[in-house]
Amino acid sequence: MANKCDLCLLGLIILSSLLTGTSGVDDEDVFISSGENVRLPCNNALSDCNSTTWSYNRDSAAVELITGGKKKKDTERHERLSLGSDCSLNIKNVTQEDYGSYTCRQYVNDKQQGTDEHVYLHVLHVSVSPSSSSSSSSSSQTEISPGRSVTLSCQLYSYTRFSCNSEGLQLLWRNQSGVDLRTDSRYQISSDHCNINLTTTLLNEDDNREWRCQLTVRNQLQTSVRYTVKYSATALNPASPVIVIVIVVASFAVLLPALILWMIRRKRDDNRRGTGDSEDQQTRPVYPTGQNTLLQQVPSGGGVADTPDACWMHS
C-alpha cells in the first residue's frame, strides 16, 4: 500500500505558490529522492523541441544543459540527462548535487517564446554513519553489525528560494508500519530545518528492517527515502570472533613461555656481562683509537657469545 503510494507520488509536482505565495505562477517545485529518476516539465512546450534550452543555476552562473534541443556534451552529468518529447528535462539517478533551479526557454525564429519556465528541484538524501566501506553514500543499504550505534541523517537539499521552515513542510522517520519513530523510545530523533537524524543501537532482529524518511508538505507525501538494515554473514556469525580469540590466546600460550625464558636468560647474561665489563674496564689498557676499536670487536664476536650458553648449561 505504502509502496504503491510512493510510486504514484514519485516525481509529483506541487505549485510553489502553495508553499510561499510569492513566486511566479510558472514556477514549480519538484521533490525527489536521490537515486530516483525525475522529469522536470517545460510548460512552454512547442510542437517540437529543437529550439528548447534548459539551463541550471544554483550558487554561481547558469550552466546550459540543453541548447537548441541538443544535449551539451561537456557537462558532468550529460549522460544522465535527456529531453522528453514534450520538451521536459529528464534526469536519471538523481544525486543530492542536482538540487537547484532549472530554467526552460523556447525560441521561435530566434525570438524567445513566452517567459522563462523555472523549476526548482529539491533532493531528499539519506547518509549513514558509520558509513559503509563497500558501497557509496547514495546506497540505501550498508553493512553494519548488531550492537553498533548507527545514525541515519536525512537531509533535504534545497535551493535557497525555498525555506525548510515553510509552513506545512515536515520531515519524519517512520517504520514499515508507518509509525512515527519519535513515539518509540528506542530511537533518538533530532531535527533541524532541512534535516532529521535517527540514531539507534542496532539489534539482532533489525536485519532487513526498513526505516523511511518522509517529506510531506501540507500532509501530502512528496517523496521518501528507505533505508534497509543489512547485516553481512560474518556480522551475524558468532563463530568468527571466537576463532579470532582462540588464535590470539593460542599465540600467547606459545609466545609467553618463550618470552619468559628469553628474559631469564637475558637477565643472567646481563649479570655475567655486567661484572665482566667492569673488570675489563679496570684492566683494559688504553690504545690509540684505531687499535682500540679493533680489539673491542674481537671479544664481542667470539668470547662473549660463548659465555651465556656455557653458563646456561652449567646452572
The residues of the shown chain that bind ligand NAG, judged by CB under 6 A, are 35, 48, 50-51, 93, 95, 129, 136, 138, 151, 153, 175-177, 179, 184, 190-192, 195, 197
- Min dist CB 32 to ligand NAG, Å, is 13
Nearer to ligand NAG by Cβ, of 149 and 195: the residue is 195
Nearer to ligand NAG by Cβ, of 16 and 99: the residue is 99
- Min dist CB 174 to ligand NAG, Å, is 8
Nearer to ligand NAG by Cβ, of 55 and 106: the residue is 106
Nearer to ligand NAG by Cβ, of 28 and 187: the residue is 187
- The bridge status of strand 111-129 relative to strand 28-33 is parallel
Nearer to ligand NAG by Cβ, of 191 and 216: the residue is 191
Query: Residue number with the shortest CB distance to ligand NAG?
Result: 192
- Min dist CB 245 to ligand NAG, Å, is 33
Nearer to ligand NAG by Cβ, of 18 and 189: the residue is 189
- Min dist CB 237 to ligand NAG, Å, is 24
- Min dist CB 104 to ligand NAG, Å, is 15
- Min dist CB 110 to ligand NAG, Å, is 8
